[in-house]
Amino acid sequence: MTVFPQLVIPETLAAGPGPGNTDPRVLEAFAGAGVADHMQKDVLRGMIESKLMLRELWGTKNVYTFGVGGTGWSGLDCVESLILPGDKVVAFVNGTFSSIDGLTIRIKASSLDDLAADSLNPKPKNVITIDTPHGQSVTGEAVDKALAEHKPMWAFMAHWETGSGRVNDIKGFSDACEKHGVMGIVDAVSSLGVGDFNIDDYPGVVAWASCPQKGVLSLPLTYAPVSFTDKAIDVLKKRGCYTYVHHPIFEARHWGVIDGKDVDTPTYHRTHSGYAVAAFHEALRIILSYGRAAKANDYSYHEKALRQAVEGMGCEVTSDMPSLIVLNLPGKLAGKEKELVQGARSQGFGIWPTLSEPVQVRIGILNQLSADQIDEIASRFADAMLAMGAEFDKQQVMSQLKSYYAKAA
């Protein structure tokens, strides 16, 4: 028998696309919760209050708004379970994550024959994938054109594609879905808790999913927020779906949503953790007290600061997301992206390469909304570049960053 020594995980600076640096208050809530079962009254109250705060954060009156235990893909599995074998779907893909969503959708829309033909990468004819090149955004015109041509039942898009750091046209997507009578499904993993938007302003979208660890900043494995319109739930009630654990109607019962109505007597769906509920509840309290609009402003403001700093180091930024910078290294370092990222990561500076071609560097600022924190990220990235032989004047870059903040103040 082998009993390993106790696992020690160091504190790193999470400066990637996610997970974000968890707020100490969230960790305290997690560790400070008492042992209580999943039907204890304060655990249930915490779930109901979280559901109400989630509606605030999503900007929605959708009754079917709740958290799916797990990670972003758990929430996405729940919303993408609306899709049944044979359904016609158009999936808009422009990077790593929307590609994985596309795979999930192809799996769900597959017949038994489609699965047997290529079980890990099925290609049912009823799923049409519209590829937008890495580094570009999905436009409303592209969505309109594809939906007019294919007339699917469902359309899928990522709100913000974290793989390439691009903001896609959510209004154009929703408008095109409405115009063509298509039900939209959106991966809002990266935008919830970072951007300032109300999902009720996009009625062409019937189902949304996000995650615990990005803008919501509640990593200690908690909940992936999801929201469904009544229309989506009606379709689901009529047709059903192939899951118990991620079944939106079953799952919502534990959050006090039964038969389309809020009730104060939730029923068992699965064993929720009081620790996770307490942490998630605290994370939602933090965002809502900060203010969704204030937070969105702060992300844009600090992203601009970091963007100018890395441009000052000779990098070319190709992203337009407020919480993430995706960049090409200057000519001399081109091709050394992975090496640079590995070097930084070995020093506890958690930046990322892109996960699919082309290879670029990704630096995120989740929960790093102060001049000091951006200064540290810029300084550590400058050191990583200089160690690889880049040529720029670090002092000049850092003093430009200081003057950005001085001017703003």
Q: Site residues (CB under 6 A) for ligand PLP?
A: 18, 71-73, 97, 158, 162, 187, 189-190, 211, 213
Closer to ligand PLP at the Cβ: 65 or 162? 162
| d(C-alpha 230, C-alpha 220), whole Å | 31
List of residues 6+ apart from 180 with CB closer than 8 A: 144, 147, 148, 151
CB count within 10 Å of CB 103 equals 17
The contacts of residue 389 (CB under 8 Å, 6+ apart) are 332, 333
Q: Which is nearer to ligand PLP, 55 or 166 (CB)?
A: 166
Cβ distance to ligand PLP smaller for residue 103 or 128: 103
SS3 content of the chain, % helix, strand, coil (to 5): 45, 15, 40
Residues 341 and 356: their CA atoms lie apart, in Å, by 15
Q: How far is the CB of 280 from ligand PLP (least distance, A)?
A: 14
Indicate the residue among 162 and 273 with the shorter CB distance to ligand PLP.
162
CB of 157 to ligand PLP, least distance (A): 10
Beta carbon of residue 337, minimum distance to ligand PLP (angstroms, whole number): 19
Minimum Å distance from CB 21 to ligand PLP?
15
Report in angstroms how near the CB of residue 258 gets to ligand PLP at its nearest. Answer: 28
Residues 6+ apart with CB under 8 A from 371: 305, 405
- 219 or 306: CB nearest ligand PLP: 219
Min. distance of Cβ 262 from ligand PLP in angstroms? 27
319 versus 397: smaller Cβ distance to ligand PLP: 319
Spatial distance between the Cα atoms of 50 and 189, rounded to a whole number of angstroms:
18
Cis peptide before 85 (omega within 30 of 0): no
Which residue is nearest to ligand PLP, using beta carbons?
72
By the 10 Å C-beta count (0-12 exposed, 13-18 middle, 19+ buried), 321 is classed as: buried
Residue 408 Cβ vs ligand PLP, minimum distance, rounded to whole Å:
28
Question: Residue 60 or residue 71: which is nearer to ligand PLP going by CB?
Answer: 71
Strands (DSSP E) found in 111-251: 127-131, 154-158, 160-161, 166-167, 183-187, 205-209, 223-228
For strand 183-187 and strand 154-158, is the pairing parallel, antiparallel, or unpaired?
A: parallel
Residue 16 or 266 with smaller CB distance to ligand PLP? 16
Burial category of 289 from C-beta neighbours within 10 Å (exposed 0-12, middle 13-18, buried 19 and up)? exposed
* Minimum CB distance to ligand PLP, residue 322 (Å): 14
